[in-house]
Structure 1
Amino acid sequence: MKGAIMKDFLNHEYVRKLVVLSFLNNYSKPVSIEKIAEKIGSTKFTVQSILDDLEYDLLNEKTLTLGKTVDKEYFLKTIELSQDVFLDRIHLNYAKKSVIFMMVDELFDKNGINTKKFCIENYISQATFSRSKQKLALIVEGCGLQLPSYSKNGIEGSEYRIRNFYFLFYWSFFNSVEWPFDVESYHKIASFIDKDESKLFANISKIQRNKIIYILYISLKRISLNNSLKEKPSKDLKEFPNYACFFNCMKNFFFEYGIKTPELLESEIHYLFFVFYDNKLIDFDEDILQYFTYMNKNNPTYGKISNFWINIFDDVFKLTLSQKQKIDLFHDINTLHAHCELVHCKQKYFYKNYIEENFYAYEKIELKLKKYVEKLFYRLDENTEYHNFRITYLKVLSDEDIINQYFVFIYHFLLLEMEMEVEPVVVYIENSLDYRVKEILEKKIERIFGNKISIIKTLTKHIDLFVTDHHIQGEDIRKEIFVPTFTDRKKFDLAVKAIQKLVSQKVVLSNHTKINHFFH
C-alpha cells in the first residue's frame, strides 16, 4: 500500500503508523502480521514494532482501541462513531508532532521562522530542520509558490494562492476534529455570519459556514501580518447588484476589525467574492455569468480560449452540444481557468487516504476517459494561442496537473449532462409459513429503498436478490438471503446490506454507461 493520510506533512514514523491503521480500518476482519507486512511492503519485525507503538498510542483514545485475537491477528475496535472520524483525530495528533506540519503552522502564525528559536522550542536538530525545510519547499513549489532560503521571509508567491494553501492545509487537517485557532475568533466570525442582515449566508450548509469562517480568519491573519493582495480588481464590479450586496456585507465585516482603508477593502472583498464563488460557498440570486463576461471584456484571451476549448471538446468527444450547454461550459471553463491561474494548489497534498497512482483514475472506464482527456489537451496545445495562454496564465501547473483538472471537470460535466435512469434492483420476497410476514418484509424493505428497488410478485429470469426463509429450487443460492421473519433483526440487516450493495453496483454501472456513451 502506497500513500497515507496527507503523508507529505508528516514525519516518516507517523506515516508508517497511519498506513497500518488505514489498512486495518479498511479490512473487514482481523489480520495477521504477515498479511499486513505483505500488503504495506514491509517486514514482519517492522510491522510488529509499529503495532506495539500503536497499542501504546491508542491507550488514551476513548473511542478506538487496537484489538488482538488469540491467533495474534489485529483489528480496530470502535466504541461510537465511524472509524474514519477517529483516524482523523489520530492523524491530527501525529501531525502536531511532525516537523513539516509545525513549520507550516509557524509560517502562518508569524509569517516566517526563527530557525534557532524554532529548533530549541521543538527539540529539533539543525540537520532535521534542514531536511524538513527541503521537503516543505518541494510541497510549496508543487503549489506554485516558493519557500525562500531564509524561512524568516515566509512563503512567497501570489497572495491568492498562499491563502488557498493555508486554507487547504488547516481545513484538511482540522475541519472534522477541532478549530485550529483561538476560540474567541471563531465565535466572533460565526456571530457575524449568523446575524448578517443581508441574508447573504441565509441558505448555507454547516460545511459551507465552517469553510467561510476558515477563509475569513485566514484573510484577517494575513492582513494583520501586512500581506496585502497585489491583484487589483476593477471598480466596475460594483455595478453588479450581486456584488454590491456582497461588498456591503463584507465591508461591515471588516469594519468590525478596524479595517477601513478603501483600497484594502476593495482588493480584499474582490478576493473573497472570487473565492466564495470558486468554492460554491454562497448561492447568488443573479446570474454570475455577467461577472465572467465582464472579466472577458477586460481579458478577451479568456473568452477566446474558452470558445476554442468548447469546440475541441465537442470534436474529441463527438458531442452535439446545445446552446445552453455551450453557455454553461463557457462559464465553467472560465471559472476553472481562473481557479488554476489564481489559487490552484496541487490537490494530492491535501486529500486523505489516497493512493497516488490511482488518485484521479482508478477503474477501467475512468482510465479510458483520461486517455480521451489527454487527447483533448494535446489537441488544444497544438494551437499557438492556447499554448501561449497556458504558459502565461496556467504556468504554475504542469501538463499532468492541467490534464487532471480537465479530467475531473469533464467527468463531472458528462455525468451531469447525460440524464439516465438507474435500473432498480429486482427483489423477490417469499415466506413459506405466513403471507403476512412476507408482506411485512416487503413493506419494510420498500420503505427503506423506495424506487431504487422493484419488488416483484412472481419468479422471472431477471431477479437480482431473493429474500426468503427457504432455498427456492432452481435458483442461484448465491442470490438468496435467508430471513425467517421480520423480527430477526440480524438477518434482516443482512438483507438490507445486500440490497444496498446491489443498488451501489447499479449506480456505478449507470455512471459507466453514461461515460461510455461518449467513447467511439
Structure 2
Amino acid sequence: MLVQTIIEKDINHKVQILEYLYSKEMIWVSTDELVKKISVEQRTILKYMTEIQELITEYCSKEVILLREKNKGYRIKFIKKDSFIMFRLFMINKSIKITILNKIFLSGQLNSVHFSFDHYVSSATFKRKIKRINSLIKDYGFKIVSQEGIYFFKGNEKSIRLFGSIFYWQLYRGVKWPFLNIDQTKIFSFIDKVSKSLNYPVSIILKNKISYNYAIGIIRYSHNEKIELGNQDEWKKIKEINEIVTSRMSTNIYNLFFSEGIRSEDEIHFNISRLQTGANIFENQKLALFVIELHKEKKTVIYQATEAFFKLFLKKMHLNLSDIDQQKVKNIFVAAFSIHYRAFLFQDTPFIEKDVDQALKTYKQLNNLMDQIFIELREMLNFSLFNQKYLILNQYMYIFSELFPLNLLEKEITIYFDEPLEKRREDLAKNMLNNFLGDQYKLRIFGTSELFEVKQEKIDLIISSSSSEKFFIYYPKVPIIILKKNILNISSSEILLCRRLLELISIYFEDKEEMKSQINKLENVFYKYN
C-alpha cells in the first residue's frame, strides 16, 4: 500500500497496532500477541502503547478509549461510528513525510526554512525525509527538487496527478475533504451536472473518487502546471470524438470547466477522456457502444487494441462468439475498451507492479495466460499504450472473471478429508475448507463416504485428525497432514494456514526436507506430516 510505504516506521507500527486492536473488537490482546504481530521487542510495544494513549488524549479521549488490564492486555473502544477511521487518519498525519507531500500538493511548493521552523525539524532531518520520499516516488516518473530553498514537484504532469489520486484516496477514502482551498460542494455539483448530461447515475463513493481527481487537477492547474497532449494524430481523433460526444450532452461541459477557471483545451480533453475511463462511466452501455463505434470509424489505437485483444482472448480460450451470451460479449468488449483507453491516457506514466492487486498474483496459470496475451498483442500492434503492462494485466484478470472463475486454469488439487463424522457434519467441514481455500485453488474435496469415487493416485493431499498408521501404509507417496484437533474445532484464522499447505504440495514432490521445514512453522495446527 502506497501510504504505508511512505510513513515513518514507528508510525506505521502504531497504525498496525491500532488496526489489530480494532479487528479484535472487544477481545483482550496481550503484549506477547502484539510482539508477534508487529515483530518488535516487548519494550517497544510498551513504548508504542504509551504513545498511542498520548495521541488519544490529544485527539479526543471521549471518542477513543484504550483499556489496559494486568494479565489480560489491551482493548480499544470507539464511541462514534467513524472514530476509528478519523483517529487512524489523525495518527498517519503525524508523519512528517505525509505532511511534506500534502504541503507541496496543496500549495505547489514548500519553503524548507518555514517548514522546519513550523514542525520543529532540523534542516538535516528535513533533507533526509525528502531523500526518502524521492526514493519511493521515483518509480512514478517525478521527484521533489529544490531551488533556493523552495521545494516542488518536477516531472511528468500526468504522473504527478495519477500519484496524487492514489495518495489522497488511500489516505482519506472520502471520509474527509483534504483540499481546503477547493469548494467540495461546487465539485459535487459539477459531477452531478456531467453525470446527468450523460444519463449516468453516480454513487457517493464514485462521486468522491472523481471529486478527488478533479480537485487535484484544479489545484495543479492553478499552480500553472498544465496537461499537454501534443498534436499527434491519435489525440486529434480523440478530440474530434469528444466533440461529438459532448455535443449530445444537455449541459455545455466546456462552460463547466470554464467556471472552474480551466480554459486549456488539452486540459479539458484530458479530463473528459479520464471521465470515460477511471470513472467507469461506460456502465451506461448505450453511451459506451456509441463512443466505441466512433473510435471504430476513426480507427483509433484504442479500438484496434480492444478488437485484437477480444479475438486473441477467444482464440486462447477456444471459444466462439456463439458460445457466449451476447450481453456478456458486450460487457467484455466495453470493459476491454475502457482498459485500453485508460492505458492510452496514461501511456507515458509509470504504473508500477506494487500498485497491482496482489491477490490476483495467486492465480499463476491465469497470470501466465494474460501475460502471454499481452506480449502477443504488444508484438503484433507495437502501440505505446502497451507500455502500461501492470495496469493492463491487472484489469485483464477481471475480464476473465466475467466468464470464468479465476481459479479455472489452476492445477486441480484433490484433497481426501478423513474424519469419522456423520454426513451432515462432514459436508459442513468440506464447505469450511472450500470457503477458506476454494477461492484461490481449484479444489476437489472427498470425505470418507466418497473415497470410492477417487483413485488413490489422484489424491494430492490427505487431511485428518486421526494419526492412524493406515495412511502411511496405504498412501506412501501422498502428503498427509494430521491435525491436532477435529477440523470443526479449528478457528477460521487457523484454517487459513491451510492455504500454505496447498503451496507446499509442489514442494513435497521436489524437496521433502523443504516441506518438512515449512510444516514445522505451522506446528500450532499440524503436528505430523508424511
Give the TM-score, by structure 2 length: 0.65
Q: Residue 195 of structure 2 contacts residue 202 of structure 2 at CA under 8 Å; is this kept in 1?
A: no
SS in 1 for 2:71: coil
Q: How does 1:306-455 map to 2 (within 5 A)?
A: 306-320=306-320, 322=322, 324=326, 328-343=331-346, 346=351, 360-361=358-359, 367=362, 369-378=363-372, 380-381=374-375, 385=379, 388-389=382-383, 392-395=384-387, 401=390, 405-410=392-397, 412-418=398-404
**TM superposition shift of 1:50:** 0.8
Match of 1:253 in 2: 256
Q: How does 1:197-346 map to 2 (within 5 A)?
A: 199-200=197-198, 203-232=201-230, 233-234=235-236, 235-238=239-242, 240=244, 242-245=245-248, 248-259=251-262, 261=263, 264=264, 266-280=265-279, 282=281, 284=284, 286-292=286-292, 294-295=294-295, 301-320=301-320, 322=322, 324=326, 328-343=331-346, 346=351
Whole-Å separation in 2 of the counterparts to 1:279 and 1:179: 20
SS in 1 for 2:224: coil
1:315/1:360 Cα in 2 relative to 1: closer, same or farther (>3 Å)? farther
SS in 2 for 1:155: strand
1:236/1:143 Cα in 2 relative to 1: closer, same or farther (>3 Å)? same
1:122/1:386 Cα in 2 relative to 1: closer, same or farther (>3 Å)? farther
1:328/1:281 Cα in 2 relative to 1: closer, same or farther (>3 Å)? closer
Cα shift readout 1:331-372 (whole Å, capped 9, x = no counterpart): 43343234235346658888xxxxx9xx5128xxx62x2343
- 1:126 pairs with 123, 127, 138, which one? 123
**TM superposition shift of 1:24:** 2.0
- 2:107 pairs with 110, 119, 137, which one? 110
Q: Residue 296 of structure 1 contacts residue 303 of structure 1 at CA under 8 Å; is this kept in 2?
A: yes
Match of 1:160 in 2: 158
Cα shift readout 1:473-515 (whole Å, capped 9, x = no counterpart): xx99x99xxxxxxxxxxxxxxxxxxxxxx8997698578669x
Unaligned runs of 5+ in 2: 407-421, 444-530
SS in 1 for 2:76: strand
SS in 2 for 1:218: helix
Structure with the larger RCO, 1 or 2 (CA within 8 Å, 6+ apart): 1
- 2:180 pairs with 159, 162, 182, which one? 182
Unaligned runs of 5+ in 1: 351-355, 421-460, 465-474, 480-501, 515-520
Q: Residue 251 of structure 1 contacts residue 269 of structure 1 at CA under 8 Å; is this kept in 2?
A: yes
Q: Residue 146 of structure 1 contacts residue 156 of structure 1 at CA under 8 Å; is this kept in 2?
A: yes
Whole-Å separation in 2 of the counterparts to 1:109 and 1:167: 13
**TM superposition shift of 1:58:** 1.7
Whole-Å separation in 1 of the counterparts to 2:289 and 2:302: 14
Whole-Å separation in 1 of the counterparts to 2:354 and 2:61: 27
Q: Residue 106 of structure 1 contacts residue 112 of structure 1 at CA under 8 Å; is this kept in 2?
A: yes
- Partner letter of residue 241 of structure 2? L
Match of 1:41 in 2: 39
Whole-Å separation in 2 of the counterparts to 1:196 and 1:387: 34
1:178/1:382 Cα in 2 relative to 1: closer, same or farther (>3 Å)? closer
Whole-Å separation in 2 of the counterparts to 1:103 and 1:414: 41
SS in 1 for 2:67: strand
**TM superposition shift of 1:230:** 0.2
Cα shift readout 1:438-491 (whole Å, capped 9, x = no counterpart): xxxxxxxxxxxxxxxxxxxxxxx7647xxxxxxxxxx99x99xxxxxxxxxxxx
SS in 1 for 2:217: helix
**TM superposition shift of 1:18:** 0.8
Match of 1:17 in 2: 14
- Partner letter of residue 253 of structure 2? M
Q: Residue 6 of structure 2 contacts residue 97 of structure 2 at CA under 8 Å; is this kept in 1?
A: yes
Whole-Å separation in 2 of the counterparts to 1:116 and 1:188: 35
**TM superposition shift of 1:152:** 4.3
Q: Residue 134 of structure 2 contacts residue 143 of structure 2 at CA under 8 Å; is this kept in 1?
A: yes
- 2:23 pairs with 16, 26, 46, which one? 26
Whole-Å separation in 2 of the counterparts to 1:191 and 1:383: 41
SS in 1 for 2:75: strand
Whole-Å separation in 1 of the counterparts to 2:176 and 2:285: 33
**TM superposition shift of 1:139:** 3.0
Q: Residue 303 of structure 1 contacts residue 334 of structure 1 at CA under 8 Å; is this kept in 2?
A: yes
Whole-Å separation in 2 of the counterparts to 1:193 and 1:379: 36
Number of equivalences: 414
Cα shift readout 1:239-278 (whole Å, capped 9, x = no counterpart): 53x432459443232333454x4xx1x3233222222222
1:91/1:319 Cα in 2 relative to 1: closer, same or farther (>3 Å)? farther
**TM superposition shift of 1:312:** 4.5
Give the TM-score, by structure 1 length: 0.66
Identity of aligned residues (%): 21
